[in-house]
Chain A
């Protein structure tokens, strides 16, 4: 084809904004600060128990929020996919509308709700319940993650369920399966590509977030995202920050690999 040059802008874009930054991160991760000397010290330091603990905590919180999104999102996706056409578009819009709002604003809104003198505690005080410590807890961070990333779970599952052939459910019923058996044996297995896609799309931003943990978790609350941010912006140790980033990247690649191994149908659900 003579139109080859049409892909050059894409190549340039990829080079400038993906390949070069990645190369820089690897360069910083494996060099001594301020020199060009190769070292493994940064990686070793990043893999020390203190940081592994933070990393583990981040992975754990992200996994729990992913699971919560799945538990909440799957039924919602089913409702969206099975409701009458005239309500469907409205419900889809309601699902998406929060995403139109600024991410920070949404999270700040939760702060004012969860505060000591916030809306929830005010309501509770009417029932003579002492104010609860809601903000700056694991629970608040989880809530923020689930709230912010839930649409990323609902939409891929919804799109897979929508594409599913309804006659398959009729066939299952015809062959003697009641509603629950049809779901267990037909609907759910066929929606798995959407579930995997949704899990990736929730887990990724959840494990790397530093805004949600900063705002809802309080200053002292550390996730791996906060540590990396701190290294780059507060302490200014780009080399160590890069080493932590590399470690996290490896973790994400491993988790993607694990998920895609179960996802035999390729990335069917990723294409929304």
Chain B
């Protein structure tokens, strides 16, 4: 495992005055993977990235690159390149000069430089834009120049700090696909920072969910979505119904005033737990057939499906999705299959982080 890893963060802690931004982060990043640091603003994801790039120094802990401690190395000596949130393109240079900046510093021969820059322009679909002024480009084009400027140096690790956040929805979706394509073409390690869970799920091989300066969960997108480790992850990734419950025994859990059969074993007996049910996993039936009954309070049309808020007698408001519309005010039954109930042990530590 160790030799596959290109970057290891060891007990990384960062404090600004008396405020702890990162609290003992330990993370191993494998070679050639697309890893996303995901979390709300202020969770420490950008700080982590800036420490890897060398713009910030950790208060304590180490950054290992290929096993070598680079914690004190200045940015210009590191074998990583960054795509900045606001592009940070040099306004006094044209597109070609911007992309060639790193190569001119390394004194790359003229013809090789030209060839590599042209290659990059082709990779990001900007052929023939070399002589254009940076300001004359659209936001999406500027972002692609920024990516080309970083990638032309053939970095072993590319750091991307919310590079798509300034783009509109449609452009962003297009760029997500394009970034994934570029990563597979060049085959380097991408470390991507975003607060957009959908973006993370679309592009990543590995997602690291962060909150309050700590890592909440590391896993493949499917795992993070289907098996959230704690209520924070469940709430942050997709929409969820989170409610308190009690683990009665293996495969039996109690919440919302009745017992449900589930698939979890080995958690313990008679323990307080948190239950997560995804809105798309709720099956709406007639009131007589339902495990729970409730009254529809709100209906919103979302395009593919309807989203309904259903109040049950115990006072909980369920979020449910269905392609069939049930009008507001009508009584409905709620069914939840054993596989769709996610049980999480309630720990004060995790609670505190939420």
Q: Which residues of A contact B (CB under 8 A)?
A: 165, 167-168, 170-178, 181, 185-186, 189-190
Contact = CB atoms under 8 A, between A and B. Distances in A.
Given A181-B105, A190-B92, A175 B84 contact: no
Interface in B80-131: 80-82, 84, 86, 88-92, 101-102, 105-106
Contact of A178 (B76, B90, B106): B76
19 contacts: A167-B88, A170-B53, A170-B55, A171-B82, A172-B90, A173-B54, A173-B74, A174-B53, A174-B55, A174-B76, A174-B150, A175-B101, A175-B105, A176-B102, A178-B74, A185-B101, A189-B92, A190-B90, A190-B91
Contacts of B342: none
Contacts of B90: 168, 171-172, 186, 190
Given A170-B75, A186-B90, A176 B153 contact: yes
Interface residues of B, number: 23
A167 B53 CA distance: 13
Contact of B88 (A171, A178, A185, A190): A171
A191 to B, nearest CB: 10
Contact of B102 (A167, A175, A186, A189): A175
A177 B105 contact: yes
B77 to A, nearest CB: 8
Contacts of B106: 176
A103 B153 CA distance: 55
A161 to B, nearest CB: 14
A178 B106 CA distance: 11
B105 A176 contact: yes
Nearest to A173: B75
A175 B53 CA distance: 11
A167 B55 CA distance: 10
Contacts of A176: 76, 102, 105-106, 153
A190 B91 CA distance: 8
B62 interface: no
A84 to B, nearest CB: 14
Nearest to B152: A175
Nearest to B105: A176
B149 interface: yes
A163 to B, nearest CB: 11
A168 B88 contact: yes
A174 B161 CA distance: 13
Contacts of A168: 88, 90
A84 B101 CA distance: 30
B101 A172 contact: yes
A258 B106 CA distance: 35
A177 B90 CA distance: 13
A175 B81 CA distance: 7
A176 B150 CA distance: 11
Nearest to A170: B55
A252 B142 CA distance: 41
Contacts of B86: 165, 167
Contacts of A172: 90, 101
B76 A177 contact: yes
A168 B84 CA distance: 9
Interface string B262-284: 00000000000000000000000
Contacts of A185: 101
B76 to A, nearest CB: 5
Contacts of B92: 189-190
